[in-house]
Structure 1
Amino acid sequence: MSAPSSAPTRRSLPSWATSFGTQIVIGLVAGVLIGLLARAMPTAADGNPNWLVGTITTIGSSYVALLTVAVIPLVFTAIVSSIANLRQVANAARLAAQTLLWFAITAFVAVVIGIVVGLIVQPGANTTVDAGAAAAPKSSGSWWAFLTGLVPQNFLALGAKTTVTDAGAATTSLSFNVLQLLVIAIAIGIAALKVGEKAKPFLDFNAALLAIVQKVLWWIIRLAPIGTAALIAKAVATYGWDALGQLGWFTVAVYVGLALVFFVVYPVLIRVHGLSVRRFFSGVWPATQLAFVSRSSIGTLPLTERVTERNLGVPREYASFAVPLGATTKMDGCAAIYPAIAAIFVAQFYGLDLTLTDYLLIAVVAVIGSAATAGTTGATVMLTLTLSTLGLPLAGVGLLLAVEPIVDMGRTAVNVTGQALVPTVVAKREGILDEDLYNAERNGDPFADEDTESPAPSTERESVHA
């Protein structure tokens, strides 16, 4: 008989210690501590931020840039693929109509909450902000600019901007318009369907490219704890927290409105449709927290789409259409709550009375014009669109810039959560939600197994477990 092995047993860490959720929480805590340390350190000799602020700024912006780089290939391939696959769904047109309807319903509820909170808190009457801070924004929104902006300028909706410094150095930066990208992808997807069999090689190539993009995106997402730590550290170290003294009531009003939508309206909608509130928030959490620290719906879009598919059980064919659409038109925070409260603030600050018609106009702008924000960081475009519609002075925008980064964090978190909520609700109403995947125990894992395919849009699907 052989002697028992004397090799020591390797002890593995408990699952909670290595889970993605725990890593995110550690990143948040570490970010706060690093931010406090960076804030306490003196500035550099030349007056620039100290080396620690510079480091966390570079890491955080680099992570958001990585996610943003994935947006163009992800949106294009996903939209084309979703249109090609939706031809297999008898109620594809109904899905699109239901999505837009629920976008409008939730936006209307959010803007009503914003108006009520603004009237109760009276942020413009309870402020000590100096009138000298008023300044017209560098850019403003308009309905005509929004409509003309839908026309693509080139195939990938890319734009270039050259900036010349005082020293004469010129730098050129590239950007993209996600609304134009949606228009291009939808047109090509529909055209591929019309072409028929001849387009099959293109659709196969598009599907393969989508799979590759999603694999690369998964690698980027795994860096989220590091990106979270850097982004929250930068927020703590550099944002104007001292400005809360003058705009404290305005900030409180915005966050009360956001909290009512996030913790009351969204849970009610989930429960009304027979779904678990806890499962929804645990599933959408990775995207919500990244949105909070990155302040960009577009930067968070790849992660939002992934949690909607793999955590909430929305079929990929539908999620890849609804989530990018939501990232440009579903802005409960930036386009509903915030402009409503901000418009009331500006009116109260300048001693102007708003009529019932004005409040109705605020609601109309919020429901119809939210696409004008286009998922960009900040909500200045939407606010100026609201103020100009009401005839309020655009210089009032400058009064609120001191706390813009602070309120923008909460706004973006609510935006992204709503962008995952509506596809989940619509999928449930249409009987295509994979409730086994929705209710699956995640055990700290952010998504279902990487090799598990997302459920197909059918009422008879096999169970997919996380």
Structure 2
Amino acid sequence: MSTPTTPTAQHGTTPPRTRNPLRAIARIPFGWQVLIGLILGVVLGLVAAQIGPVPGAGEDGADGPNWLTTTLETIGTIFVTLLKALVPPLIFLAIVTSIANLRNVTNAARLAWKTLLWFAITSFIAVMIGIGLGALTNPGVGSGVSEGAAEASETQGGWLDFLTGLVPSNFLGVEGSVGDDGSVSLGFNALQILVISIAVGIAVLSVGEKADPFLRFTGSALEIVQKLLWWVIRLAPIGTVGLLGNAVASYGWDAIGQLGVFVADVYIGMFIVLLVVYPVLLKTNGLSIGSFFRGVWPATSLGFVSRSSLGTMPMTQAVTERMGVPRHYASFAVPLGSTTKMDGCAAIYPALAAIFVANFYGVPLGITDYLLIVLVSVLGSAATAGMTGATVMLTLTLSTLGLPLEGVGLLLAIDPILDMGRTALNVTGQALVPVIVSTREKILDRPVYDAARRSSFQAIQAEQAQETTDGAATTGARTDEPGPEAPREKETAGV
């Protein structure tokens, strides 16, 4: 009796395929990847906190972080650094291109000022909610945080700093600093890059057709930068493990417990804006609430884990267009909103933080102080441009009210936990305003909006790649100069 033999490659039979774990992970929906990253980050953070610091491993013989905390911090730092590296070219290219695109839009000026008006309206509502919650709960009274934690932030903002910061020190908005050890580090001023970008965009409009070669270059460069950003975004689940894990390991739940009322106020305020104010605004303008939240979900969830409105900008613009907002308008409103529209960072958070600091130091606030908080929040949103989070906006608010800037240090321990919710609210609002303005200007594609469905990250990325391929094919097939029978038509933005 013969024994059956196993087929081999020598007999022309393909060997059995081995399972690739990376391919299997890639098939997991991005949302589930992020959720796994969140859970894993909390678990590893708690494990690292349980291990505790290593005696003598820090500077001057002090206790230092253990190996797991160091690993989590390194992972989170690398992810944020990659995002920061792409922010300067992204701001410049996106703003220049979006402003230049307005030359093909009728009533562009009206679209622009209505966008800014709705930015201000939603920010006003958000800051009033923050003030109301702070006045009701007095979050700084009886908090468990010690006064020894008070420390002025290295990144500060006063009105004079804000105004002088608008003037670019160089064309690239690059800043250099020398460390104590003589090392030189370079950074960027996002606000200055924003000013430079707006000036260049307006200059492009003024030059007219002579600027077409420059626009083709910036458009192509923007596609490349956004592709790089998509690749970085794919690392968000891993970055989430590092960012959240390091926050839990470094501060634990003790800091959240000490500032429990403040943390609750911030998240309750954000939920009120997200789940009450935004739906009311949508319903008032005759829009489906479900369609909006189904459509915006990929951007909201990505903003939560990336903690960067600018890093989330390509996704925000993609979901905005998928909800029926014309591309020529979305490409202007979303980049502008990503640098100036901050309902979380520039409205709710600084209002509650200012009340917390005033409560903590026993400084009474009058009606004039509350009006100043509203004024700073509505007009000073641009101070939060870039990756600075809400720190600059908070110091700007505190300095305006004459409150101790050392109060910033009281809240730094829980800032990563709050920043996730703040950014999620920011990007949701940045998609909401273009939808509302498009509706009021009668340029929203209502059938597309009403049919909006919840999409995965992979689906949106694939759609963007397909559109880029189709656009390249169309560009290669057409002639550079339109014939006399095919004049370029202007898109209409409503009458």
TM-score scaled by length of structure 1: 0.85
Partner of 1:452: 467
**Contact persistence 1:20–1:446 (CA under 8 A):** no
Partner of 2:476: none
Matched, 1:30 2:46: no
The letter of the residue matching 2:105 is V
Partner of 1:20: 30
Equivalent of 1:269, from 281, 285, 299?
281
What is the CA distance between 1:114 and its match in structure 2? 0.7
Matched, 1:239 2:255: no
Query: Quick one: distance in 2 between partners of 1:312 and 1:437?
Result: 6
Query: Quick one: distance in 2 between partners of 1:457 and 1:174?
Result: 43
Equivalent of 1:211, from 219, 223, 246?
223
Matched, 1:259 2:271: yes
Report SS of the residue matched to 1:402.
Answer: helix
Query: Quick one: distance in 2 between partners of 1:364 and 1:163?
Result: 36
Matched, 1:188 2:200: yes
The letter of the residue matching 1:274 is G
Post-superposition Cα deviations, 1:397-421, rounded to whole Å, max 9, x if no partner, equal: 3333333333233222222222222
Partner of 1:429: 440
Query: Quick one: distance in 2 between partners of 1:123 and 1:212?
Result: 46
Report SS of the residue matched to 1:87.
Answer: helix
What is the CA distance between 1:120 and its match in structure 2? 1.2
What is the CA distance between 1:434 and its match in structure 2? 3.9
Query: Quick one: distance in 2 between partners of 1:14 and 1:24?
Result: 15
The letter of the residue matching 1:325 is L
Query: Quick one: distance in 1 between partners of 2:266 and 2:359?
Result: 15
The letter of the residue matching 1:107 is S
Structure 1 pair 376–15 and aligned structure 2 pair: CA distance change class (3 A): closer
The letter of the residue matching 2:129 is I
Largest Rg, 1 or 2: 2
**Identity of counterpart residues, as a percentage?**
61
Structure 1 pair 417–184 and aligned structure 2 pair: CA distance change class (3 A): same
Q: How many residues align?
A: 450
What is the CA distance between 1:459 and its match in structure 2? 6.7
Aligned pairs (5 A) from 1:282-301: 282-301=294-313
Partner of 1:464: none
Matched, 1:117 2:128: no
Matched, 1:95 2:106: no
Task: Name which of structure 1's ranges 29-38 and 105-114 shifts more when overlaid on structure 2.
Answer: 29-38
What is the CA distance between 1:393 and its match in structure 2? 3.1
Query: Quick one: distance in 1 between partners of 2:283 and 2:370?
Result: 30
Partner of 2:486: none
What is the CA distance between 1:176 and its match in structure 2? 1.6
Query: Quick one: distance in 2 between partners of 1:382 and 1:427?
Result: 29
Equivalent of 2:78, from 62, 65, 71?
62
The letter of the residue matching 1:420 is A
Structure 1 pair 39–287 and aligned structure 2 pair: CA distance change class (3 A): farther
Query: Quick one: distance in 2 between partners of 1:202 and 1:142?
Result: 36
The letter of the residue matching 2:296 is V
The letter of the residue matching 1:60 is G
What is the CA distance between 1:429 and its match in structure 2? 2.3
Partner of 1:369: 380
Equivalent of 2:234, from 195, 206, 222?
222
What is the CA distance between 1:358 and its match in structure 2? 1.8
Partner of 1:405: 416
Matched, 1:177 2:189: yes
Matched, 1:328 2:349: no
**Contact persistence 2:97–2:218 (CA under 8 A):** yes
Matched, 1:278 2:293: no
Query: Quick one: distance in 2 between partners of 1:136 and 1:67?
Result: 26
Query: Quick one: distance in 2 between partners of 1:363 and 1:184?
Result: 28
Structure 1 pair 78–131 and aligned structure 2 pair: CA distance change class (3 A): closer
Partner of 1:463: none
**Contact persistence 1:84–1:189 (CA under 8 A):** yes
Structure 1 pair 262–441 and aligned structure 2 pair: CA distance change class (3 A): closer
What is the CA distance between 1:229 and its match in structure 2? 3.2
Matched, 1:41 2:57: no
TM-score scaled by length of structure 2: 0.81
Structure 1 pair 170–76 and aligned structure 2 pair: CA distance change class (3 A): same
Structure 1 pair 14–393 and aligned structure 2 pair: CA distance change class (3 A): closer
**Contact persistence 2:320–2:431 (CA under 8 A):** yes
Matched, 1:104 2:120: yes
The letter of the residue matching 2:284 is V
Structure 1 pair 334–221 and aligned structure 2 pair: CA distance change class (3 A): closer
Equivalent of 2:398, from 379, 384, 387?
387
Query: Quick one: distance in 1 between partners of 2:492 and 2:108?
Result: 14
Partner of 2:177: 161
**Contact persistence 2:274–2:425 (CA under 8 A):** yes
Report SS of the residue matched to 2:179.
Answer: strand
Partner of 1:4: none
What is the CA distance between 1:86 and its match in structure 2? 1.2
Gaps of 5+ in 2: 1-13, 58-62, 472-488
What is the CA distance between 1:111 and its match in structure 2? 0.8
**Contact persistence 2:295–2:455 (CA under 8 A):** no
Task: Name which of structure 1's ranges 257-266 and 240-249 shifts more when overlaid on structure 2.
Answer: 240-249
Structure 1 pair 24–373 and aligned structure 2 pair: CA distance change class (3 A): same
